[in-house]
Amino acid sequence: MNINKLIGLILLLPAPLLASDSELCNTHYKNAEWQLAAAPCQKASESGDHVAQTILGELYDSGDGVTQDSSKAAHWWGLASNAGHQPARNLLAMKHYYGGTVFGPEPGWKKDYAKAYKIWHEDAVRGVATSQFMLGVMYKNGEGVKQDYAEAWAWFKISLQGGYKLSTDLLIELSRAMSPADKQRGKARLQELQQRHSIKQRMTALER
């Protein structure tokens, strides 16, 4: 066979499919192959992949596959969070809320209720049920905001309506502690939140 024809046939053959950095990042992370995940996650993150940025932040936060570095975790989560990536936003808010994790403080993090509230409030008004729940917690406990059982009740209620079942027990607890006036304010606030959420949904639908 003519050598030129042979080369032409070879060029027409499909090239082997190579996994992208994003795919490798996800695959290795899901398989708990932290060291293998680190390099592709770094490359994908630098290319603007928000999922990879979130994963890379988790690696730096835990020190899995990389040297533990809370500032780098905050950096990558911050980029993904600013782009609206929900998992990164919630991770960052949780770190600010606890100053670490639910199990206790961690080096490189400190409690900052204002930052946690800002993220959760932005997401709550967009209809994110977990963020609505956490706003309820903050108002119930008076964390970074003035304690307000009526406001807490309204956020727990709309969170439950959004499918977040953990709100149930706290609604029962609050209802026992609330005065009749608080309950009236809570119901009025719930109606206001429901109306705003409905308008937000309609506006979002029109923008699509």
How distant, in Å, are the alpha carbons of 57, 122, 126 from that of 132? 24, 10, 9
Q: Is the pLDDT of residue 202 over 80?
A: no
Strand partners, 94: none
Q: What is the pLDDT of residues 33-85, one digit of tens each?
A: 999 999 999 999 999 999 999 999 999 999 999 999 999 999 999 999 999 99
Pull the structure tokens for residue 21. Answer: 């950095």
Rounded to two decimals, the pTM is 0.84
Residue 2 lies in a domain: no
Within this chain, do residues 170 and 202 fall inside the same structural domain, yes or no? Answer: yes
Within this chain, do residues 118 and 77 fall inside the same structural domain, yes or no? Answer: no
* Total number of domains constituting the chain: 2
Q: Which of 88, 103, 135 is the last residue of a domain?
A: 88
Handedness of CA 199, 204, 207, 208 (dihedral sign): negative
Q: Which of 41, 73, 88 is the last residue of a domain?
A: 88
Q: What is the pLDDT of residues 124-148, one digit of tens each?
A: 999 999 999 999 999 999 999 999 9
Residue 174 lies in a domain: yes
As a whole-number percent, the residues of the chain with pLDDT over 90 amount to: 80
Please give the residue range of the domain that contains residue 171: 112-208
Residue 15 lies in a domain: no
Q: Is the pLDDT of residue 13 over 50?
A: no
Query: 45, 56 in Cβ contact below 8 A?
Result: yes
Within this chain, do residues 194 and 151 fall inside the same structural domain, yes or no? Answer: yes
Within this chain, do residues 75 and 137 fall inside the same structural domain, yes or no? Answer: no
Closest residue by Cα to residue 117 from 93, 148, 100, 87: 93
Q: What is the pLDDT of residues 77-96, one digit of tens each?
A: 999 999 999 999 999 999 99
